[in-house]
Amino acid sequence: MKKLSISVLFPILIVLSLVGKVSADSKMKVLGQVDLLVTSSSKSLPSIPALATKATIGIQGGAVRWKGYSTAPERNNGAYLGSGDYVILDTRSKIDNFRVILDTGSSAVTAYVVYEGVP
């Protein structure tokens, strides 16, 4: 029996591990997209597809405050996201409980939302 060296086995193991990862992730599909105009009133995410289990939310135009549980954020209270920042919600519960509001001093902010899931 011929022995394989570590230098030969290591790249093979890396490729095999990536193949499994790619196939598992490839089931996830974009299910919908929505642009949410953020105002001085707390808002939840709109038009959530039934099978969505992940949401990526990008902020453009100013700053917002957000919370990921049932308590609504206030203009000076909540996790801060500035223009160009994004947050990834990786469970349906986080998507359903997400709330966002304008940060003090911001106006005309848009949250760009992409929903993903396994159809």
- CATH code, domain with 100: 2.60.120.770
Question: Measuring CA to CA, which residue among 34, 54, 36, 33 is closest to residue 102?
Answer: 36
Say which residue, 41 or 23, is predicted with more confidence: 41
Say if 42 falls within a structural domain. Answer: yes
> How many domains does the chain divide into?
1
Say if 65 falls within a structural domain. Answer: yes
Say if 43 falls within a structural domain. Answer: yes
Say if 22 falls within a structural domain. Answer: no
Specify the pLDDT at position 18. 45
The per-residue pLDDT for range 46-96, each reduced to its tens digit, is 999 999 999 999 999 999 999 988 789 999 999 999 999 999 999 999 999
Phi, psi dihedral angles at 96 (to 5 degrees)? -65, -30
Q: Burial level of 55, CB count in 10 A (0-12/13-18/19+)?
A: buried
pTM above 0.95, yes or no: no
Say if 3 falls within a structural domain. Answer: no
Say if 19 falls within a structural domain. Answer: no
> CA 91, 95, 99, 103 torsion: positive or negative?
positive
Please give the residue range of the domain that contains residue 57.
27-117
